[in-house]
Structure 1
Amino acid sequence: MKIGEAQQSLGSPVTAPVYAGIALSASDGHTAAELLRSGELALQAAEEQETPGYGFFNPDIAQTARRRSAVQRALTEALANETFRLDFQPVYAIRTGELSGFEALLRLHDPELGNISPAEFIPVAEQMGIINRMGGWCLSEACRIASQWPAHIIVAVNLSPYQFYSGTLIGDVRQALEQSRFPSYRLEVEITEGTLLKDSELVLHQLRALRDMGVAVALDDFGTGFSSLSYLWKFPFSKLKIDRSFISALDESSSARGILRSIIKLGHGLGLSVTAEGIETTKQMSTLRELGCDLAQGFLLDRPARVTDLAAIILRNFANGLTRRQPKSAVSAAKDLAQG
């Protein structure tokens, strides 16, 4: 760079967003420390709006801050003591009814707060910078548990976008597979479309590395947010998971059926299998079967189960499979007998 260019660059105007938190004496605090704390909470609320401006303190902000602090404490303790839990929701082949696999779902229970929803604690963990360690634990635990299942049953694990940005994801996956001696073809990772937005080339590189390892990649919640056809041919997906909002719309909107038909045909046209999640009624299941959807999960089929209940689910499905195949065997035996 030339000196003149450097001077011009240094002389360029710099725009910086400005935020302010406002706390009022007496109503928001009686001491300097209380007022400063209230002002900090108001400032934090203003920054979370992501547009420059100011915010006044109100009691709701304090309540939200206390809850957030409690969730942070619960996360820190659960990570240190490894007291997170994985539940598993079964996924079934729509046409045959056979068990295809399980989706691992992270659970957090705190003695004081009770059960905390992933929708609440995952964003907090991401902002705390501990989601990578949590994600690594999920991968290892899911592979360890799934290694005890029959060889045809897969396990799916959700990934946070921050795991891609950390630079440790590929190592975490490889370590989870090696420690449990779990075959890579039985592991499926799920990402949302939002993961692809920040640094798509970085994400693409890691997804290709996962596919080269034999790990399947599913695009979760397809049809919402930032859906783009370019993602489907550019990124190495093996499966689409239709967002549950489209499934629930089958009971309310006549256009939902046409949208689902288009998504399923699109997935099949690209050589991808298609999963519908959030199925709660027989009508929804019947429609998805007619439309040619491949896989299904939802409360109609099975709720998320504890690890101790998985053996019963697997054995039940095996028994149901024998029952489904029995009539065919009987017909075949009758034909053989007649021909003999």
Structure 2
Amino acid sequence: MSKKFTNPFSALETHMSMQYVYETTKAYASPTNAYFNFHTQPTQRASLNQYYQMAVATLTGKNLKLFTTRCTDVRFNTYLYLTKYGTNSLPVIMDSAWNSLILKHVQGISLHPIIEELAQTFHKHQIFNLPMHDHVQYENQINRCLSDFKVSIMTQAFQKQYTSWITKFRSTGLYYDKFLDLVASKTDLFEVHSLLIQRRAMNGMMPQFGDADFIDSTVEEILQEQAKPILDKIWRNREKNNVLGILSKRETDINGTQTLRLVFFVGKEFSDWYKFDQSEFYSELSPFLIEQGANRIALGDIPSMNSGLQPLYQGQEHNYYDFNQQFTGERLKILRAQLVGSDFWLRINGHHPTIKVERKLY
């Protein structure tokens, strides 16, 4: 059981994949761990990784006590302290009443099945509303809730969902790795650039019939229709613009904006730095940039895949990669964690991967 429900990331990859979720969904105020006042709304959200770690600890731990009379690092009241399990779990329990991702305030998202199941069990038992003055009774009710969670995890329906989620996650990782191998077979030097194709909600809703920006198509169809001429033009001219491959990444945020992020891998022959807007690639992209009501096409805002966002490092942008340079492997792990790793925590429209290879060399 413990091996089956293991976080597949290093600490850095976990942090960067979670940070990507924060930035794209806009559902979190901060990516740091939650400090919690146990009687009020949290000042910071518990991360999805904290939910996941609590679920794994619940399934594998032998001692699930929340409180102890022995002195620990965290005091609960005059006579009680929190155990390690209690210190990690209580912020998650209380956060589940407020967390925008857990409450599905971000339209169309699906969470990792084990996180989804834990949150649903919390809400079924309403444990975030339980009075805490009698810690013995409180802990007994929490234990009943967690016992229910353990039973639901072993049902056939859950195991089928979990297997589907993990299988698609692993397959996506393999496709991405093969894609990057193709890029590496052509060059040691490359840049990564992303373009946002967005359909924005107006007053919290997508344009309706009679609105100026209304289009009688699904959001998915609109995004794909806007992406097609860009993909066709850039790929057709790849001998001039040096584009070696293109990915797409589906995203959504708490404001209702639906995004298709196109991610371009652009080969370089030399390491000379120049402004992105002076490149052949930018000259081909720029005619497509728009800001019209519900529709927006703009350069991305993630430093690992866009230039001009942070000060140069060693004379280069943060979206520049050299396979022969120190620390490039770690930086590419970060890029992979953002594009692929974020799918471990959250997806859009069911279990389907959010990342797709749009164009590749062969």
Q: TM-score, length-normalised on structure 1? A: 0.22
The answer to which structure has the higher helix fraction is: 1
Highest relative contact order (Cα 8 Å, sep 6+), 1 or 2? 2
Q: TM-score, length-normalised on structure 2? A: 0.21
Q: Which has the larger radius of gyration?
A: 1
